[in-house]
Structure 1
């Protein structure tokens, strides 16, 4: 989210004054610093009154939406001032955490980061009418300068993955697929940090060919890492809640041919057989990857198509232009006093249950069960609201306790 806004600020015309208000201190200040360098203001909301005063003075208030406990507390807490409200959702809502239809209806404008959000079961019913109030503006962008057409020194059969190296996002099937290949001398370079006690290590140790997984660790230079690979294997959990998928878009912009599962988010980015390959099952993924290794010329052609399309469509210039058009429409409306509380509920437990379905598991949705206090899990809510059933609590906001909520 910070990266998306840093890119948007750098591409934004000078006729818009942007003021970012953080609900807690940023752990990683790279994008905060980049945003400030563009001239935009970044402020830590010190108290609810401070935040409300900033809202009251703004022409438009834009909420960067995902299921963060502090955002829920802001929306469902004490009454907010009159405003023109825009939401930009950074979760798909197709799976938990869901996007409440009532939240969309309470906002002046609601923006998805992927068209796949319109497939969310709770939004698709004809009785809701919520989708008529929505727009789609992309938040995942090609690498800057990737559209120059410069050739890359990539290997013919090199395979890479870059992203979250945990089974909260990455599918265990990726390890199975690479293990089942009949080709000799094949390996998958995995770029990303992985904890020492991660189940990923256990899965690799159980492989028939564990040497085929090469854990490369975090890369400070993803362009260099990905410009040497021809195949980007990006097989994710079927119910992940991502939308714009930065790593996938960036790899495609560098000419990598992606292999993905037929998940809603990936299907909104990759066109099967034209800008990448879409597998419907593990067996199909093994078949496709084997074919890709045997047909390097076709892989190069698909990678070139992916690069051309992504560099044309997935740019910050296109997204900021779409936002300016949306903001110019929204500012014509009178300010109104919003009421977002009914969309979420009265207590932090209500908020969590609303966003995770009627019977959410104790650790969050199925992709959050292994996480402690992160990504909107129940443990994350308890960091800020230890008494989950008490309405309108003042959240705990000490720096040590707030860290997991980044």
Structure 2
């Protein structure tokens, strides 16, 4: 988060702070985080990785062709939002076209919504004209993100309840709520309504039915996602070096690990882990400097994951094999497939590149046979060994997120 003062030097002076309780990585000591403010709901220890905060991001010989294309195409779009949506399409999630129940009795969205309200209480709300859908700010394969605003009448009636939850994740037309609800993973609603928010995960405040008949989740507004930040930093450094310093890389990874461990504890499998599904919390998005200012990471887009089959080459070989043979089944997505996708996400953080961004198409055979991304030669050998375990062909050889957290502690804090 942004502190009272901003660094005026180069990129390597950016500092990133993370919360990591002992349940995630076994860190008990507190390292003072200078000039950094806590997010409003945090009350745990602050830990800042102290490995190499005074080093610039490392240069290496792999240049991202995607970043080069982005640098060339920016002027083709009238607005930043249009450009960001187009840039994001390469990592949009793939939907499961086989997941349907043709024999099921059709119910209207209103009927389904009423039953959800009866079952889950005030998690599902109908705000009527009080909640207004504003301008579109992002889009994915399954939904669009809009700013949300409240009428003066709703603010008077709801008071502080409306504060901080000011974007709508609106599912695209054609999604019947009857089928959409089946995409919500086990534990998601329980976690949101009975057991409190999930640590290091995006907060879903309400499920709402809009006046236009579309269903949406009302959520906290974030600055953007980690992939957006990577793209900005890679363009800023002219595609010449990695987007983050060693300490930033370790801190980002630790926060993701904590969020994923919390999801798995609630029996929630993400199914679509990637940098674009990590949202960034900043204290003031209007003044946030994407090159210098610190931020916090929250795992996102797990709330409707059951209807997805992941994204591109972030997916584990057992998933790709099933897609190749037309035998995709929900049970193939588990904690171990999430670990594999985490390793690909770590590759994004380390290099700024999309996994196999130049491979194209559906060349799954090479991945199934064992091909993996090239890692920078300068990284810690322990980190290289950890990633090799995470993206191992055999799911049984992949570590848990608890174990990954312990390994990150050894790599970045020793």
TM-score, scaled to structure 2: 0.23
TM-score, scaled to structure 1: 0.23
